[in-house]
């Protein structure tokens, strides 16, 4: 594949448009099902489409409320080893993010952080698909983490007794993503689909996430040739991206379907991507 500047020709993983999913809802379990005869951990079918991922750098400034994602400059004061300490992430890093979000988006009156994930790309990813790895790996299929129904279920669990009252107000379910590497890397960057190019009535499909004690729900994206994909080439550690999964109370709000992609401009000498993403509800 040929590359031009920051623009990358690659493949994006989409959910299948097989008509069987008109009557069979997609699902995935968070636990092994080997003890159940005939059971499968998921019923997913993926299709990879050749796609062009454009570089936003020096071209335009994406907006959380238009494209569904936005880049902010915010240098963390936390050292790399401290991100391996759960208490440090939840106390110091969450506090940093709260300050950043309130400065950039003063409309948000209260924030509720509910989880985070650190991903460290294994040297065999993705060729060793299905292999056991020490850390979570990049996710290469287009999705958002929650539907509105799934977000309500997640917040009810996270907020406990205060959930019912809090959910009477509008809120955005946001992710904040940054590199943990100490310098830029071209290795498996994150790309976002411009919300204006998504046909909401035709491109989205709901997926059940089955846990041992509960069921969640997210959205996958199905292919549409009108989709426009963007990323930030040579993204620096202080260039944080914030994006919306769904809005509770505003069905017209822009959402950012996203995934990692194989950067065909990268090479074996690149730093393997390390990143942290934090999920939260922002009430307004």
How confident is the prediction for the chain on average, in pLDDT? 93
Fold of 8-283: Jelly Rolls (2.60.120)
Whether 129 shows a pLDDT value over 70: the answer reads no
- What predicted TM-score, i.e. pTM, was given to this entire model? 0.93
The bridge status of strand 204-210 relative to strand 27-29 is parallel
What integer pLDDT is reported at residue 41 of this predicted model? 94
Distance (Å, rounded) from C-alpha 257 to C-alpha 50? 17
Whether 169 shows a pLDDT value over 80: the answer reads yes
Q: Which two tokens stand for residue 192?
A: 């976002």
Q: What is the domain partition of the chain in residue ranges?
A: 8-283
Stretch 39-45: mean pLDDT, rounded?
Answer: 95
| pLDDT range class, residue 162, cuts 50, 70, 90 | confident
- Residue labelled with tokens 């009430």: 283
Determine which helix (DSSP H) or strand (DSSP E) holds 157, and give its type and residue range: helix 148-159
| Cβ atoms < 10 Å from Cβ of 146 | 25
Whether 4 shows a pLDDT value over 70: the answer reads no
The answer, yes or no, to whether the previous bond of 239 is cis (omega within 30 of 0) is: no
Distance (Å, rounded) from C-alpha 214 to C-alpha 97? 28
What integer pLDDT is reported at residue 1 of this predicted model? 35
What integer pLDDT is reported at residue 3 of this predicted model? 42
Stretch 104-113: mean pLDDT, rounded?
Answer: 96
What integer pLDDT is reported at residue 5 of this predicted model? 63
């Amino acid at each position: 594949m040929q590359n031009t500047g920051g623009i990358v020709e690659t493949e994006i993983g989409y959910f299948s448009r097989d008509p069987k999913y008109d009557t069979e809802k997609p699902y995935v379990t968070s636990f092994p099902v080997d003890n159940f005869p005939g059971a499968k951990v998921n019923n997913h079918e993926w299709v990879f489409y050749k796609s062009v991922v454009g570089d936003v750098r020096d071209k335009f400034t994406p907006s959380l409320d238009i494209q569904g994602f936005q880049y902010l400059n915010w240098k963390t004061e936390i050292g790399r080893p401290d991100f391996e300490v759960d208490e440090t992430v939840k106390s110091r890093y969450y506090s940093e993010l709260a300050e950043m979000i309130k400065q950039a988006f003063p409309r948000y009156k209260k924030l509720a952080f509910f989880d985070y994930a650190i991903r460290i790309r294994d040297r065999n990813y993705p060729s060793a698909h299905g292999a056991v790895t020490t850390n979570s790996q990049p996710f290469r299929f287009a999705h958002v983490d929650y539907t509105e129904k799934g977000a309500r279920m997640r917040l009810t669990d996270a907020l406990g007794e205060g959930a019912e009252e809090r959910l009477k107000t509008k809120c955005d379910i946001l992710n904040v993503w940054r590199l943990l590497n100490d310098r830029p890397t071209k290795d498996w960057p994150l790309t976002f689909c411009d919300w204006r190019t998504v046909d909401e009535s035709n491109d989205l499909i709901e997926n059940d996430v089955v846990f041992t004690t509960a069921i969640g729900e997210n959205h996958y994206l199905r292919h549409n040739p009108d989709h426009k994909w963007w990323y930030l080439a040579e993204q620096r550690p202080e260039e944080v991206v914030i994006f919306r999964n769904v809005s509770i109370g505003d069905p017209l709000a822009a959402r950012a379907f996203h995934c990692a992609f194989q950067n065909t401009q990268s090479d074996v000498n690149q730093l393997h991507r390390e990143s942290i993403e934090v999920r939260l509800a922002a009430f307004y």
